[in-house]
A and B are shown apart, each in its own frame.
Chain A
């Protein structure tokens, strides 16, 4: 099971996999991220917490290249993602370069975003075949393995709309893993689910966190889950990290007043 999703060339364990340097993101005059610096070491599971609108989703979307920063640089496994900083100037990276770097990142969305016109198996094989150039048979075999892993080995031929939200989200996890990403981005992946379906999805992610060397960057309101899987928790407020540390510390003995307020509101 663990070998199934091992990344092809994992970065040196403990080495820096994600790095934000002075990243600023604005929407019009609204500065959402303000000179943000942070790093995620390879193999670590990092959870972002913070009030609504604090910029958590924005961070994941910047990493997925769904947004571009106004200032600063983002590095993934030592490579610039969308912009290179030269003598203080930002130079856009080529589409091809960005594509190569982005392949190391997988994302699971709040709204699943499965392709409704494709069967479950094809959802999982589409990118490995057409992006990684994997043979169709190999891709299907791996896809079946991944679908087994998320407990949906018997749903290969279903269409996404025939599945429950929880099942769709588990397919989405398998789809992201099929690309053998080094890092998995998870943005409130259970908040669109009916309460009784949340546990199934979190169990899959817990297993993944405990049995593989995949790096995780997640945004969640499930504090118990965050406590279980996180090596580090980053508390955000107004586009800055105001406090970070291991979950035991942040959840039981936070230093910052804002963190205390936030936790008492969500716990």
Chain B
């Protein structure tokens, strides 16, 4: 089998369509993961055991079961409960939920890194809990974990092709269709791989640079 530029040229528009979907799934999944992760991280610090405990179990459960299983679960089981999402939304929810459990851990590390004196100063000023969290603690906590958050976005990007398995027309799915109709495999799959490298490698370099900058 040799490389055929015509096949590559034919596939290019589908690759770009798929790329758009891939990026969209990663972006929306990240937003969901950032938001849910924050909810988990804050709940795990709740003074109430009845909040901490169930959230802790749920987070461990999600983190320790495979993303693919969760994806299929949402895709096949949710509709039987009359919850109907598009394939893309289902994919975003699965990616976002799964990664939120890792993101929660990142936030936790960031929150632990904020000196206890900051909490004490907030108490001494009687600042309400919400303001203490959102105006004092989280801005300092998140600043120092931006690179770690970025690395999880990159990891999610690379996990995102799983959503092809529930029929989302991302890059991988378009490559599969191309292969199924034209029996050309090398060009589409190679191009998909290159597209991933072109995004994730510079992004990871950026995160490493950020890490170094925040390091001192």
Seen from chain A, the residues whose Cβ lies within 8 Å of a Cβ on chain B are 64-66, 99, 102-103, 105-107, 109, 111, 113-118, 126-127, 130-131, 175-176, 179
Contact = CB atoms under 8 A, between A and B. Distances in A.
Chain A interface helix/strand/loop/mixed: loop
Given A66-B124, A131-B128, 10 more contacts: A65-B123, A102-B126, A106-B124, A109-B124, A113-B118, A113-B121, A115-B136, A116-B140, A127-B125, A179-B125
A111 B124 CA distance: 14
Interface of B: 115, 117-118, 120-121, 123-128, 131, 135-136, 139-140, 143
A126 B120 contact: no
Nearest 4 Cβ contacts at the A-B interface: A113-B121, A127-B125, A113-B117, A107-B124
Nearest to A99: B126
A248 to B, nearest CB: 32
Given A106-B124, A126-B125, A176-B124, A111 B117 contact: yes
B135 A126 contact: yes
A115 B125 CA distance: 12
Nearest to A122: B135
A127 B127 CA distance: 6
Contacts of B135: 115, 118, 126
Contact of A126 (B123, B127, B139): B127
Nearest to A105: B124
B139 A117 contact: yes
A114 B128 CA distance: 17
A130 B124 contact: no
14 contacts: A64-B123, A65-B123, A106-B124, A107-B124, A109-B121, A115-B118, A115-B121, A117-B140, A126-B125, A126-B127, A127-B126, A127-B127, A176-B124, A176-B125
A187 B131 CA distance: 25
A182 B66 CA distance: 58
Contacts of A179: 125-126
A71 B24 CA distance: 59
